[in-house]
Amino acid sequence: MQIKYGLIGGSGRMGKEIELLLGESGHKCVLKYDVLGEWKSGDPEIIIDFSMPQALNNTLGYVKKYKIPLVIGTTGLSEEQLNTLNTMSQDFPIVQSYNFSVGIQMLLKCTEILKENLPGWDVEISETHHRFKKDKPSGTAIMIKNLIGREVNISSLRLGNIPGNHTVSFGGLGEVISITHSATSRRTFTEGVLKSVLFVMNKKNGLFSFNEVLFQK
């Protein structure tokens, strides 16, 4: 099955990697939209958005126009924008996540366990990324913080071209337990995007997390 997709933010790092992997898998980019404007060679069956929050309205315009699903990994969305996605998902199937790796989903599951079993322990989050990363802290670090559900310090380091490391640590008097996820290539994320595309193409509507893509039967 060849999927014709539209790509928002195709000139960024993730955009290029997505186009590479989806191309290798036999899928075809028929619409692009980024700061240079729109380029189009056909009608998309799905929209993939890895761009900036300010592009969201335009993205949703495509979803409505072609009545198609959306996979969105753009970080830094506002509360209001997340609400808009929620409302839109009554009519369209949407996968929204700040991180599309299996390992990060595992880090979140383990974090939940530590949070429940270690009340009163100190918590620290830290993340290290390449020097070109624009947002700080990372969307994934924010996901972890939201999961902890209280005020937690996030340390953000920028070094060379590290694809992305995240650590969450719980410290008690006498011991520390830490969970660290390291991406060794961006391929990890694009494979998660491809999984999400295949998942959402078969849905009628609804807002899905990447966790649901992975574990929903």
Residue 64 appears among annotated catalytic residues: no
d(CA 17, CA 11): 10
Using the rule CB under 8 A, is 212 a contact of a copy of itself?
A: no
> Which two structure tokens, joined as six digits, stand for 27?
């899928």
d(CA 134, CA 118): 34
> Which residue type is seen at 59?
T
Using the rule CB under 8 A, is 55 a contact of a copy of itself?
A: no
Nearest to a copy of itself of 84, 169 (CB atom): 169
Nearest to a copy of itself of 82, 113 (CB atom): 113
Taking the chain, what is the end-to-end CA distance rounded to the nearest angstrom?
Answer: 22
| Binding residue for a copy of itself, selected from 54, 78, 83, 153, defined by CB under 8 A | 153
Using the rule CB under 8 A, is 217 a contact of a copy of itself?
A: no
Using the rule CB under 8 A, is 24 a contact of a copy of itself?
A: no
d(CA 180, CA 105): 12
Using the rule CB under 8 A, is 18 a contact of a copy of itself?
A: no
Q: Find out whether 35 and 16 touch, Cβ atoms under 8 Å.
A: no
Instruction: Find the shortest distance in angstroms from Cβ 37 to a copy of itself.
Output: 30
**Burial of 31 per CB tally in 10 Å (0-12, 13-18, 19+):** buried
Using the rule CB under 8 A, is 74 a contact of a copy of itself?
A: no
Task: Supply the residues annotated as catalytic.
Answer: 129, 133
Q: Which residues contact a copy of itself (rule: CB under 8 A)?
A: 101-103, 106-107, 109-110, 113-114, 117-118, 121-122, 124, 126, 128, 131, 153, 155-163, 169-185, 187-188, 191
